[in-house]
């Protein structure tokens, strides 16, 4: 008997993607009863998963009948990565305001500042409080209706982090595996470029999609294209491109100028075949509000409306991605 269950267990562990998901296994009178953890699997993947296991077990001489119970974490959490190819294009500003706009649209939103070497979310979101931890799990702090974690809350401000890849990945893990249990949407503010953090996030936490931020400038767009390419290669759908710092309205005379050019990102999105989510102007008030820890998305002005429109477009794109699966 023990031999039989040992064989079934070994066969299950050999099946790709199954190891670690079997939370209970019993074999009695030829009936194999399994409890499987299906957390994070889309409906189609879940039924394929169940089918593969059933087919394999039914072919074993030790098994006459298979009974499977699927369990999963209560909240299905969708992770959206916000990336850029180049630094300083406003990715953190966008991530913060988008997180707030999504929360105002009724989602329960978590914001992870994955820019381990240059965290800026505590300042932008106006909460530099050190988070508590329970049994080594960090409890995110509240900021403008969003819950947030950043390495900037854990290290002394202005301290340079001389960390190598594995330490950075482990810090990312601490943030991503914080107490997010009531959050249904996570916005991850990535560092610029295509390095260790991006790769770890994609491999371990499988974002449902990525938003790419670029200025209209050609150079930023070339870099943005690189970031898009990375996500595509790693099978993370690109939800869309946001153009930031487009069209500067002079606060004195109101004249609009385009210091970084105009329309470049929308044209590039068209060429690359990805949705264009919208354009955020270069505005003194956005910069001032970010520095003051009061992101414009919390207000009721024109800029809050822009971020709210972006959030709606993003949710629509997410829906169409889900329908495509």
Edge-to-edge, what's the strand order for the sheet holding 31-37? 22-28, 31-37, 65-71
240 annotated binding-site participant? no
Q: Site residues for ligand ATP, window 173-212 (CB under 6 A)? A: 192
Side-chain half-sphere exposure of 292, counting CA atoms within 13 A: 10
Task: Dig out the tokens for 152 from the structure.
Answer: 């900037």
What is the separation, in whole angstroms, between the first and last Cα of the chain?
42
287 binds ligand ATP (CB under 6 A): yes
Closer Cβ to ligand ATP, 269 or 282, answer by number: 282
- State yes or no: 85 annotated in a binding site: yes
Q: Is 147 flagged in the annotation as binding?
A: no
By rule CB under 6 A, what count of residues binds ligand ATP?
A: 20
Beta bridge partners of 28: 31
What lies within 8 Å, CB to CB, of 234 at 6+ separation is: 199, 202, 203
Q: Around Cβ 104, how many Cβ atoms within 10 Å?
A: 18
Q: What are residue 81's phi and psi, to 5 degrees? A: -90, 140
Among 12, 149, 280, 304, binds ligand ATP (CB under 6 A): 280
Which of 150, 153, 200, 283: binder of ligand ATP (CB under 6 A)? 283
Q: Does 282 contact ligand ATP by CB under 6 A?
A: yes
Helix (H) or strand (E) run with residue 313 in it: helix 302-324
Q: Which of 121, 198, 290, 308 binds ligand ATP (CB under 6 A)?
A: 290
Q: How far is the CB of 225 from ligand ATP (least distance, A)?
A: 16
Q: Shortest gap between Cβ of 156 and ligand ATP (angstroms)?
A: 19
Residue 205 is classified by DSSP as I
- Interface pick for ligand ATP out of 41, 109, 115, 265 (rule CB under 6 A): 115
Rounded-to-integer distance, Cα 226 and Cα 241, Å = 13
97 DSSP assignment: H
Asked whether position 91 contacts ligand ATP by CB under 6 A, the answer is yes
Residue 129's closest CA among 296, 305, 297, 293? 293
CB of 260 to ligand ATP, least distance (A): 11
Report helix, strand or coil for 128.
Answer: coil
Among 127, 200, 244, 317, binds ligand ATP (CB under 6 A): 244
Task: Kindly indicate which of the ranges 32-40, 47-55, 64-72, 279-287 contains the residues binding ligand ATP, using the contact rule CB under 6 A.
Answer: 279-287
- Which member of 41, 63, 66, 89 binds ligand ATP (CB under 6 A)? 89
**Which member of 34, 41, 79, 92 binds ligand ATP (CB under 6 A)?**
92
261: left (phi over 0), alpha (psi -120 to 50) or beta: left
Contacts with ligand ATP, residue ranges (CB under 6 A): 84, 87-93, 115, 118, 120, 192, 244-245, 280, 282-283, 286-287, 290
């Amino acid at each position: 008997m023990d031999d039989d269950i040992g064989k079934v267990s070994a066969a299950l562990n050999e099946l790709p993607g199954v190891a670690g998901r079997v939370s209970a296994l019993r074999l009695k009178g030829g009936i194999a009863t399994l409890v499987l953890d299906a957390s994070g699997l889309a409906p189609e993947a879940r039924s394929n998963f169940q089918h593969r296991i059933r087919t394999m077990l039914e072919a074993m001489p030790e098994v006459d009948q298979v009974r499977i119970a699927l369990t999963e974490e209560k909240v299905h959490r969708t992770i959206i990565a916000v990336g850029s190819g180049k630094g300083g294009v406003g990715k953190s500003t966008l991530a913060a305001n988008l997180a707030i706009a999504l929360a105002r649209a009724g989602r329960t939103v978590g914001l992870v500042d994955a820019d381990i070497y240059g965290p800026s979310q505590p300042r932008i979101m106006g909460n530099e409080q050190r988070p508590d931890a329970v049994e080594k799990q960090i409890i995110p702090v509240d900021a403008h209706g969003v819950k947030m974690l950043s390495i900037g809350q854990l290290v002394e401000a202005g301290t340079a982090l001389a960390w190598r890849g594995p330490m950075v990945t482990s810090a990312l893990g601490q943030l991503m595996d914080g107490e997010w249990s009531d959050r249904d949407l996570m916005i991850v503010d990535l560092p610029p470029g295509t390095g260790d953090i991006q790769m770890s996030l994609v491999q371990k936490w499988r974002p449902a999609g990525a938003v790419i931020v670029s200025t209209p400038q050609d150079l930023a767009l070339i870099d943005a294209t690189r970031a898009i390419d990375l996500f595509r290669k790693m099978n993370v759908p690109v939800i869309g491109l946001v153009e930031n710092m487009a069209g500067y309205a002079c606060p004195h005379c109101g004249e609009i100028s385009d210091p970084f050019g105009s329309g470049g990102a929308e044209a590039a999105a068209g060429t690359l075949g990805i949705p264009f989510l919208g354009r955020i102007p270069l505005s003194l008030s956005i910069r001032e509000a970010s520095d003051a820890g009061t992101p414009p998305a919390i207000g009721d002005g024109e800029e809050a409306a822009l971020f709210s429109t972006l959030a709606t477009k993003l949710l629509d794109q997410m829906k169409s991605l889900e329908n495509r699966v």
